[in-house]
Every structure is written in structure tokens, then in C-alpha cells.
Amino acid sequence: MRRALYVLIGVAVCAVLWEGYKLVGSPDGAVLLGVRVLPRADDLSMPHLWTVVERLGRPELTGGRPVWIVVVNACLFTLGITAAGFAIGALVGLVLAALMQRFRIVERGLLPYVILSQTVPLVALAPLVAGWNVLWPGWMTVALIAAYLAFFPVAVGMLRGLQSPAPAGVELMRSYASGWWRTLVKLRFPASLPYLFPALRLAGAAAVVGAVVGEISTGTRGGIGRLIIEYSREATSDPAKVYTAMLGAALLGLLVAGLVSLLELPLMRHRRHVEVVTL
């Protein structure tokens, strides 16, 4: 309940800042040394929030469906791709983290490349993946791009979590003649949950970004990324329409983060139970 209240307060603050800047800002923006440091506050660049909400209820085209239905359908399409990319990325990240925790030489050799992978510009990677011409549907290319962004926070967060148990706990498991797998399941994995779920939330948001950018870069139709491009062509005549698609993408990211948070409740409850039994 408190988290929902914080979300509402954050949304209200953003709305106040938007409308406040539009009220006091210059229609031409602010230019410093020939560089624009503040955006224009005119209706073309920054429409009123109620104008955007009103545009959601009007037809996309004359006689067509309302914009909110089009945006919701596009978000659902992208949500499916995001879920596939998130699952692939999370699985790859978990496997890499387990291998790096098990073998120190793997950590030393692989971790720098895991970090280096995130320096590759996504807009440059997406056309390369699309050009592989592998026999899979076009949405799978976008899912791989989403997985590329999602695996990194999971791998790094899970590795830190698996390495978090105290040496006394590890020695206790060894005294019970527990192997690596049993120690992983009984000790390291429960101890890693506080590190894992923040990493999963970051991975979910990253997967949304990857899916949207992938749809834009590969030209995949049906998703919110493609819808942003299509609506951007009407920015001069219907600026509020562009913001409806951007609003849908933002809400999609919040939805994915919320769904990941739901997974946290039963597992963290199980972890507290394990701690009580152990004590």
C-alpha cells in the first residue's frame, strides 16, 4: 500500500513539474551559448497533460478505433516479446552467475566481457541481429535484443548474492559434507534473493527498453515501438498523439516491474521461513 502511495506521489510530482514548466517556461525554450538547455514550452512541443488524456479517447483515424485501444493492443504485443526476452535474459544471467561463483577462473575471465557487452550501442546491435537471416519469426529477433539488455543486471546481481553468505555458513555446510549443488540450493540461493529481485526489476525495465528499441530498429510491426515511430510522423499536426504512445511505453515498463515484484512475495516469505528454522 505504501509503495502504491509513493508511485501516486511520484506521478503527481511529475505532472506538477510538467504543467508548472509549461506555465512559466518560454515558448522558445532556453538557449545558453547557442545550445538549447531547456525545451520549448509551446503546445506543439509540450501539450497539456489533459490534452494527451483527451486524445486517448478520440479515434486514431477518422472512423477508426480510439487511440487507447490501439496503444493497449500495441503494449500487449510488446509485453509478449518482453516476457520472452526477459525469460531468456534472466536464465542466461542466472547460469552465468552460478558458473562464475563456482569457478573463480570463469569469473575472472568472463566478468569483464559481461560488463563490456553493455557498452555496445543497442541501435548498432539490432540491425546485426536482424541481418542473421535465421529461420525464426521477426519478433524473436526483438526478444533476443531485449534479452541482451536483461541478462546483465541478473548476472551481476545474482553473482553478488551467491557470494554474500558468511564464511561461517559455508563452513557449516562443508562440515555436513554438502556438495556445491546442495550448498547452492540450501544456502547461497536463499541468501541471494535480496540481491536477485532488484536485479530482476532492472532486467524487466531493460527488457522493455530493448523490445521498444528493437521494434524501432528492425521495423517489427504491431508493438509500441513501431507505434511511436508512426505517431511521430504526425508530431507537427497532432503532437498529443505522439505522447499517447510514449505514455503507453512508460506504463508498460511499470507493469513489467510490478509483475516481477509479485514474484518476490512468496519467495521472500519462504526465505524468512528458512531463516527462522535455521535459527
Which amino acid, one-letter code, is at 180?
A: W
- Residue 136 belongs to domain with CATH number: 1.10.3720.10
Q: Are 218 and 127 in contact (CB under 8 A)?
A: yes
Q: Are residues 34 and 54 in the same domain?
A: no
Q: Are residues 142 and 42 in the same domain?
A: no
Residues of the chain under the 70 pLDDT cut? 1, 133-135, 266-279
Count CB-CB contacts under 10 A for residue 89: 28
Q: Are residues 245 and 214 in the same domain?
A: yes
> Which residues have a Cβ under 8 Å from the Cβ of 3 and sit 6 or more positions away?
none
Number of domains in the chain: 2
pLDDT tens digits, 36-62 = 777 888 888 888 888 888 888 888 777
pLDDT of the residue at 276 = 37
pLDDT of the residue at 273 = 47
pLDDT of the residue at 56 = 87
pLDDT of the residue at 157 = 92
What domain range is 7 assigned to?
1-46
pLDDT of the residue at 277 = 37
Q: Is the pTM of this model over 0.85?
A: no
Which amino acid, one-letter code, is at 211?
A: A
pLDDT of the residue at 269 = 61
Q: Are residues 26 and 131 in the same domain?
A: no
